[in-house]
Structure 1
């Protein structure tokens, strides 16, 4: 499964942009992911230039398999943590080692397959997965080994129990923030500063994500895959 998803992600480096020519990751949006976005979202949203290449693309074609790869790796890491019997030290070192290896491989791969977050290139997915594994190890040390369970950790636990729900809501929340809060951001930035306005938007997104997961946690509802 991971191999198939990896091939899907890597396809953007060798599939041509239909009607334009060979794909080139070093040229903005000249790739199959941008073409699929243009096909799905339409010219009114992406505004293609004279050559037919969209001026903005989110790489929707690659987001799903890339997210699946990270989710599968996270699931495997979680299962390893749950069933480990070799003690926390070996577990932590294993997570740190796997994360470091993934980051180094991602950086090395990035020399021939650039790391581009917007279109979820394979090297970026590998690099991001490595960061996630290292973060998992650090949180394990902080929460399980040092037994820290403050309000922030409690909030993370609530969102973690419904991480799939949180992710799906986050996608919707970002769209809402981008479209509905644009004018509010501009006004707040003019009254205060762009930094404060940015933090306000991030806070609104976090609230939109946390509130439903908190409500589901109160009711004991957990969405699983």
Structure 2
């Protein structure tokens, strides 16, 4: 497209910036509640961040593949990008600064954020290339209803399946069986095997939004607001029987987060693409190299957590000596540290953008 839809770029970049912010507080012991995940059921603003990114992956697929032919070349490119994302995720899970620079095999986490992005991108792109929107609706409903039935009707260990914390539900039970010690926690993984299935629906819902944005509809912002409202209502109603839960990526969670994504994107679209109000450029810069910025932030954060300075890490030393002050609460100090990290990566994204360096993963 010659005329890019700025709101999509801004939304993608803002999501990456928020991902970095919530992942890098000064200390996990002192964080403002909205910047933490819900303990189990329910959701906070932080729980919206990852599904927002999967949602915009779907929207971006529409723009990237709208004129692509379904041939071996296209499938090869999709497959290569998928493997790159999974590979980067596995590298983050395995890397350590101590020789031989890899953890012991039993300690490596197999699932992860980038791995899920890769898998979701693969299926969402394949579905978009091969099916029309009506079939995509059927696929989305099938994924969400099927997951609901699997999670609520199939018994685990000869007891009734529940959605309480693991292992008494199918998703957590399967994660332990499939990945063993390679999970994030001993009893579950928030990017686990079964919960990746409904996360594909998060991206397909983003595809519908992309189709609306590319359509000839005149009141696109209104349509997106309305769609977002409907998804929110249905998601919260579904919450009564299938609780909103980010760790399990429940079907109600998919609808509620996609609802908020549509509403937020509609607002940005109205302001930037319709009213032509200029704002959010820094987010656009971050969005241009979104995966690279996210990977670097995760990689450098991991290194800073492993470099020791006395009894603490480089990360801890910087936080304690620069950000912890008597006149500030620890929560504010922790937030300021995170905002400093965000500022650094926004500056990096700006430099890359101005030098026209766009690294495709």
Q: How does the TM-score come out when normalised to structure 2?
A: 0.47
Paired with 2:316 and 2:292, the residues of 1 have a C-alpha distance of 23
Tell me the alpha carbon deviations over residues 181-201 of structure 1, each in whole angstroms, 9 at most, x when there is no partner: 895359736934133224423
Secondary structure at the residue paired with 2:247?
helix
Q: 2-side partners of 1:113 and 1:119: how far apart?
A: 11
In 1, Cα distance between equivalents of 2:303 and 2:158: 30
Unpaired runs of 5+ in structure 1?
Answer: 48-53
Q: Is the 8 A contact 1:173 1:205 kept in 2?
A: no
Aligned residue among 28, 53, 62 for 2:165:
28
Question: Which residue of 2 is the match for residue 148 of structure 1?
Answer: 277
Taking CA–CA contacts closer than 8 Å with sequence separation of 6 or more, which of the two structures ends up with the larger relative contact order? 2
Indicate the residue corresponding to 1:42 in structure 2.
181
Q: Which residue of 2 aligns with 1:79?
A: 211
- Distance of aligned partners of 1:143 and 1:186 in 2 relative to their CA distance in 1, 3 Å threshold: same
> Which residue in the other structure is 2:112 paired with?
none
| Match runs of 1:152-167 below 5 Å | 153-161=280-288, 165=291
Q: What do residues 32-81 of structure 1 show as CA deviations (whole Å, max 9, x unaligned)?
A: 2222333315189634xxxxxx3x64252244333322222112212211
The structure that is helix-richer by fraction is 1
Cα RMSD, aligned residues only: 3.8
Structure 2 matches for 1:4-23, cutoff 5 A? 4-7=142-145, 9-10=147-148, 11-17=150-156, 19=157, 21-23=159-161
Residue deviations 1:192-224 (CA, integer Å, cap 9, x gap): 41332244236536856884797478235556x
Cα distance change on mapping 1:37 and 1:216 into 2, 3 Å: farther
Asked if the contact 1:14/1:23 (under 8 Å) is kept, the reply is yes
- Structure 1 residues 45 and 114: CA distance shift in structure 2, 3 A: closer
Is 2:228–2:258's contact at 8 Å kept on the other side of the alignment? yes
**C-alpha offsets along residues 96-150 of structure 1, whole Å, 9 cap, x if unaligned?**
1110000000000000111111211100111000000111110011111221223
1:175-194 pair list within 5 angstroms: 180=305, 184=315, 188=319, 191-192=324-325, 193-194=330-331
User: Is 1:97 matched with 2:226?
Assistant: yes
